[in-house]
A and B are shown apart, each in its own frame.
Chain A
Amino acid sequence: MNCLWCDRQIIPEINWENIFMLAKPKSLCGECEGKLEYLQGSRCKKCSRLSEEAVCLDCKWWNEHAERDSIAFNYSIFNYNSFMQDMIAKWKYRGDYVLGTAFKLDLFQVFSKRFAFLKNEALLVPIPLSEERLRERGFNQAKMLAEFLPLPCEELLTRIHGEKQSKKTRTARISTNNPFKLTKTVNKSVILVDDIYTTGTTLRHAGSLLKAHGCPEVYAFTLIRG
């Protein structure tokens, strides 16, 4: 196996710590893997931002505007450091699909731990791309991530095209500019999956749409906290 980032051959290192779990296949070499930065230390329990406070300032604001706060919490794994930015650029914007598999193991492990409380009674929903983007790129990175996870995944959301959206806004009650449309209602909890959480606005739009149509609870699981 060659490192997905630098293409150097990965020589498995055997020592007393890993000798009993040899089978773990690596997709990044040690050096590249070391450049990924896990979010560590105390973080906001609502949005995963590194913060000394249990709930960060932004999230406190959302709490006070509860009618617009549709996400129970977001959990992210990595920091958006410069190496991660390079990786995302190549994966997403250049369209190097296979690079996404470098995140598979971390995604699976963290998810299994953080969302165990749902006891498999939930549905994964990836944040969609516009049709045009999808055609260009050839894949939806959020869907790719969701498919690494041990729960059923359904593409319940689509993006409203710019033109139709303006027509829709007059009738839509939920938000003045919700970019999403629901293709099917759901009565189970939903975990939204996306590659990066920046302001949380996108995820909240998706969340409020789901909740308005009977979804009991919405969570978010993202690879990176931007």
Chain B
Amino acid sequence: MDIKNTSHDSPPLEIYARQFSGKLLLRTEILLDENTFQQLLSLHLFTPVQSIKRKKFTYQCQRCGNQKRSLFATLPRTSGKKILHYCRNCIEMGRVIDSEPLYYWTGKPVKWLEHEAPCTWDGQLTAAQQRAADHIVNAVNNHQQELLIWAVCGAGKTEMLFPGMATALSAGKRICIATPRADVVRELMPRLQKAFQHVPVQGLYGGSKDRAGTAQIIIATTHQLLRYREAFDLLIIDEIDAFPFHADASLPFAANRAKAPQHTTIYLTATPRQEQRRQMVGNKLPHIFVPIRFHGHPLPVPTMKMSFSLKKELQKSEVPLALMKWLKNRKHQTRQLLIFVPTIQLADNMRDQLFVRFRKEGLIKSTNELAAVHAQDPDRTEKVQAFRKKDILIMITTTILERGVTFPSVDVVILDAGHEVFDEAALVQIAGRAGRSPDDPTGEVVFFHDGRTDAMVEAVDSIRLMNKRGGFH
């Protein structure tokens, strides 16, 4: 087979280019037979790079950037061979060993289609959304490197992206939206495909059906960026303040590498962290603030309810008195209820107690109307779906439902809001679950605690401030 003069039995080079350009892959991820691969390699269409570099006192994995000693290990030596080091940090995506290089495509790059008027969304942006959208369009047109969009929970950030994405697509650019959670990828996929009906869109996450990652629009969990290199002209990073992007250094490392040499990166957040605020204040990071929800109503301000017996009750997995008292006087008894708890254990333990109690009080009729969900729950997708369909009325949850998911009409409570897992960002995000629908734009948010923390006070202050900046007094 001669690859240069493409014959009938070998795919033309453009197909390889489309498959491999912009990627950084292990040999096992390149699904080509050895002959073809060797030929492409000898033609310098693939270029190998050392996968683990030796640094002064440590190593660095070139796929994930890991330099931590405890996250490297060795394989047992086979006779006569060198000791092999591997990276433990990114091993879930296939093992990187120092004896095997990573490869990237150095053949002709892909020429992406220049779409004329690619946006098929016919909705209307609010004035606040439009202002942010204009900034994004400008950033794309001017090859501005970075722009941060600080938009309150429920501002409608996805729609704000459409004009900027359309601008990029009509210039033949490639786009990636990276988000911390697979749930969000699944939710965004159909919305984006509908908004750009004639542009190929692919969703990538661990275990996704689609694995090629070759479309002009990619929606991916942030981890998937570990497989890209100089790929995206427009990179949109959703929820930069969220775990794991915020905590796992390999994700910013990969995001940085996934950008094309000339690129625009848009950061999205509802709750910027200290470091981002500092950059905004110092004008080091161009940014725009969107203080109003798309339905024009203010953010619900949490109430704090102090209860001395709370910790004791939770320790015994008893239903807190304060919660029952509030429930009985709740203004909208028909709203669904999200109950946030700090630990998986408590979520599971509270379930049975709450069921017995709620049933007695007539708040629920059958077992199915109450459920507990957490990150290690294999049925979590189904449960969230059932809550959305209102088959489940009351959901006990860990911080896993703190962001990304939207339910139209819920009240929200936190049990033990003073627990360390509820930092300011988490509290603001949780409060932001309420009042998301134009039909029911308010909602109660209650922090049950046994002593207010700085995080709680700061969360309420910051919600008030955002409302004020949104023109509400």
Contacts and interface: CB of A to CB of B under 8 A. Distances in A.
A90 B71 CA distance: 14
Contact of B88 (A82, A98, A139): A98
Interface string B43-79: 0000000000000000000000000101101111000
A94 B76 contact: no
B95 interface: yes
B162 interface: no
A120 interface: no
A97 interface: yes
Given A7-B70, A138-B84, A95 B91 contact: yes
A96 B85 CA distance: 11
A94 B70 contact: no
B92 interface: yes
Interface in A57-96: 82, 90, 94-96
A139 B76 contact: yes
Contacts of A90: 91-92
B73 A98 contact: yes
B76 A138 contact: yes
Interface in A1-32: 2, 7
Given A2-B70, A7-B70, A7-B71, A97 B91 contact: no
B95 A95 contact: yes
A94 B88 CA distance: 10
A147 to B, nearest CB: 9
A140 B74 CA distance: 14
Contact of A97 (B70, B73, B92, B376): B73
B355 interface: no
Nearest to A134: B78
Contact of A94 (B75, B84, B92): B92
Contacts of B95: 94-96
Given A94-B95, A98-B74, 5 more contacts: A7-B68, A90-B92, A96-B73, A96-B88, A97-B73
Give the most central of B84, B88, B92, B376: most A CB within 10 Å.
Answer: B88
B232 interface: no
A90 B92 CA distance: 7
B150 interface: no
Given A138-B84, A139-B76, A94 B71 contact: no
Question: Does more than half of chain B's interface fall in helix, strand or loop, or is it mixed?
Answer: mixed
Interface in A111-151: 138-139, 144
B73 A94 contact: no
B374 to A, nearest CB: 13
A139 B75 CA distance: 7
Interface residues of A, number: 12
Interface of B: 68, 70-71, 73-76, 84, 86, 88, 91-92, 95, 97, 376
A118 to B, nearest CB: 27
B12 to A, nearest CB: 32
A82 B74 CA distance: 26
10 contacts: A82-B376, A94-B92, A95-B86, A95-B91, A95-B95, A96-B73, A96-B91, A97-B73, A97-B76, A138-B76
Nearest to B93: A94
A98 B91 CA distance: 12
A97 B73 CA distance: 8
Contact of B75 (A7, A82, A138): A138
A94 to B, nearest CB: 5
A97 B75 contact: yes
Contact of B91 (A2, A7, A94, A144): A94
Contacts of A138: 75-76, 84, 97
B46 to A, nearest CB: 21
8 residue pairs, one from A and one from B, having the closest CB atoms: A98-B73, A2-B70, A138-B75, A95-B95, A94-B91, A139-B76, A96-B91, A97-B75
A95 B202 CA distance: 29
B71 A97 contact: no
Nearest to A101: B73
A94 B91 CA distance: 6
B116 to A, nearest CB: 45
Nearest to A90: B91
A95 B376 CA distance: 23
A187 B208 CA distance: 52
A6 to B, nearest CB: 11
Contacts of A97: 73-76, 86
A94 B73 CA distance: 13
B61 to A, nearest CB: 14
A94 B26 CA distance: 14
Contacts of A82: 376
Give the most central of A90, A95, A138: most B CB within 10 Å.
Answer: A138
B469 to A, nearest CB: 39
Contacts of B76: 97, 138-139, 144
B366 to A, nearest CB: 28
A139 B81 CA distance: 14
A144 B75 CA distance: 11
Nearest to B97: A138
A6 B97 CA distance: 21
Nearest to B378: A82
A56 B71 CA distance: 43
A194 to B, nearest CB: 18
Contacts of B84: 138
A86 B227 CA distance: 23
A96 B91 CA distance: 7
A144 B74 CA distance: 13
Contacts of B91: 90, 94-96
A98 B75 CA distance: 8
A57 B74 CA distance: 43
A104 to B, nearest CB: 14
A94 B86 CA distance: 11
Contacts of B68: 7
A95 B71 CA distance: 13
Nearest to B376: A82
Nearest to B89: A7
Contacts of A2: 70
A167 B93 CA distance: 39
Contacts of B75: 95, 97, 138-139
Contacts of B88: 96, 98
Nearest to A2: B70
Nearest to B91: A94
